[in-house]
Amino acid sequence: MRRLLLAGAAVLALGASALLWSTAPERADPAVLEGIAPDPERGAQLFLAAGCASCHAAPDAPPGTRPVLAGGRRLASPFGTFVAPNISPDPQAGIGTWQPIDLFNALKYGTSPEGRHYYPAFPYTSYRHMSPADVVSLFAYLRSLPPDPTPNRPHELPFPFSVRAGLGLWKALFLRGGWVLRDPPDAAAERGRYLVEALGHCGECHTPRNALGGLRRRLWLAGAENPAGAGWVPNITPARLHWSEADLLGYFTTGFTPDYDTVGGSMAEVVENLSRLPEDELRAIIAYLRAVPAVAPTKRQKE
C-alpha cells in the first residue's frame, strides 16, 4: 500500500510539473524586433487608439497631451479588484528599465520581464495582434512621457485567483491568435479590424465571457454585463447598432448620440481618445462594425 501511495504521489507530482512546464510564460526571440526603427509620432496615435491612459493614468488625473501614467486605477471584476500599474518611464516604479522586447512580450504573450504571467485584466488577448513595428513605436512614445515614482499597489484577489501559476492554463484555453472577422470585405474594414480587435480591444467589454473569464467569440460584440457590476455594455453588431455613418462619426468625435444624449461612464474616455484620431481611422472602425456578423440581442437587451 505504501508503495502504491508513493507511486501515486510521484505520478501526480510529475503531472503537475509537466502542466507547469507546458503552461510556463512564453517569450519571443528578441530578433523579432531587429532592424525596426521607432516612429514616436506614430506611437502617439497608437497610444490613443489603444486607450492606454484610460487605465494607467492616475485616478482623476486631468487630461493632457503628455499624461502621467502613474497607475493606481481600480478595476472591479467578478474575480476581484485589479489595480492598474505604473507604466511611466520611472526606472523603479515604472517601465524605465524595459526594452522594446519587454513590451512586445507583455502585449503578445502577457509575460512580464521577470517571466511572470500577467492577468488578462491587461487586455493582451487583444493587443497580441499588434504588429512588431507598432509595438516598437508605442514603446518609443511611452518612453517620452513624464516619469512618476508612485509605487505599484497589489491586486486585491481572493484565492485561488491570487495564484498566478493558474494563468498558464487560462492562456492555453483562451489566448488565441486568429482574427474574429477572418475575411474583411474591403481595405477599410480590414484596417478597422486592426483598430477594433487589436488596438481598441473593443471586444474586451462588448463581448460576453464564460465562467472562467474567456471571451465567447461566437457572440463577438453582442453586448455583455458590465464587469464593474452595474449596467450593461451594449450590443454593437449590425443586429442592434442601426446608426448611420454620420451618426457614428458624430458620436466618435463629439460624444453625442443621434438622440442628443451624451456618452457616459468609461465610454466617455474611449470617445475622448477616438476624437483625436484621423477621420479615416474612424471611418475604418465604422466599416468594420458594418462587416461583423449580426448577433441577435438577448432578452435582457430587448427589455
51, part of any domain: yes
Nearest Cα residue to 42 out of 279, 202, 284, 277: 277
13, part of any domain: no
Residue 2: pLDDT over 80:
no
pLDDT in tens, 214-236: 999 999 999 998 876 677 899 99
Is residue 301 classed as helix, strand or coil in its secondary structure? helix
Among 149, 174, 199, identify where a domain stops.
174
Cis peptide before 238 (omega within 30 of 0): no
Q: What is the domain count for the chain?
A: 2
Asked if residue 212 and residue 125 are part of one domain, the reply reads: no
Asked if residue 139 and residue 106 are part of one domain, the reply reads: yes
Residue 78: pLDDT over 60:
yes
- When pLDDT is averaged across residues 265-280 and rounded to a whole number, the result is 92
96, part of any domain: yes
Average pLDDT, the chain: 89
273, part of any domain: yes
What pLDDT does 47 receive? 96
Under the banding of pLDDT at 50, 70 and 90, the label for residue 297 is confident
3, part of any domain: no
CA 8 to chain centre: 41
Asked if residue 223 and residue 161 are part of one domain, the reply reads: no
216, part of any domain: yes
Asked if residue 243 and residue 269 are part of one domain, the reply reads: yes
Asked if residue 153 and residue 125 are part of one domain, the reply reads: yes
Asked if residue 161 and residue 248 are part of one domain, the reply reads: no
Asked if residue 278 and residue 154 are part of one domain, the reply reads: no
Under the banding of pLDDT at 50, 70 and 90, the label for residue 13 is very low
Asked if residue 73 and residue 199 are part of one domain, the reply reads: no
Which of the pair, 36 or 3, is modelled with greater confidence? Answer: 36
Is residue 81 classed as helix, strand or coil in its secondary structure? strand
Contact 107, 118 (CB under 8 A): no
- When pLDDT is averaged across residues 79-103 and rounded to a whole number, the result is 96
Among 130, 152, 174, identify where a domain stops.
174
pLDDT in tens, 199-212: 999 999 999 999 99
Q: Which residues contact 166 (CB under 8 A, 6 or more apart)?
A: 160
Under the banding of pLDDT at 50, 70 and 90, the label for residue 22 is very low
What pLDDT does 19 receive? 42
Asked if residue 225 and residue 170 are part of one domain, the reply reads: no
C-alpha angle 180-107-35 in degrees, rounded to nearest 5: 105
What pLDDT does 228 receive? 66
285, part of any domain: yes
Q: Is the dihedral of CA 275, 278, 282, 283 positive or negative?
A: positive
The amino acid present at 41, given as its one-letter code, is E
Residue 134: pLDDT over 70:
yes
The C-alpha atoms of residue 109 and residue 171 are separated, in whole angstroms, by 9
Residue 207 zone, left/alpha/beta (φ > 0; ψ -120 to 50; rest): beta
Asked if residue 191 and residue 277 are part of one domain, the reply reads: yes
Among 122, 139, 174, identify where a domain stops.
174
Residue 302: pLDDT over 90:
no
Specify the pTM: 0.88
Instruction: Determine the structural domain holding residue 91 and report its residue range.
Output: 36-174
C-alpha cell at 11: 505520478
Asked if residue 159 and residue 49 are part of one domain, the reply reads: yes
The C-alpha atoms of residue 209 and residue 200 are separated, in whole angstroms, by 18
30, part of any domain: no
What pLDDT does 1 receive? 52
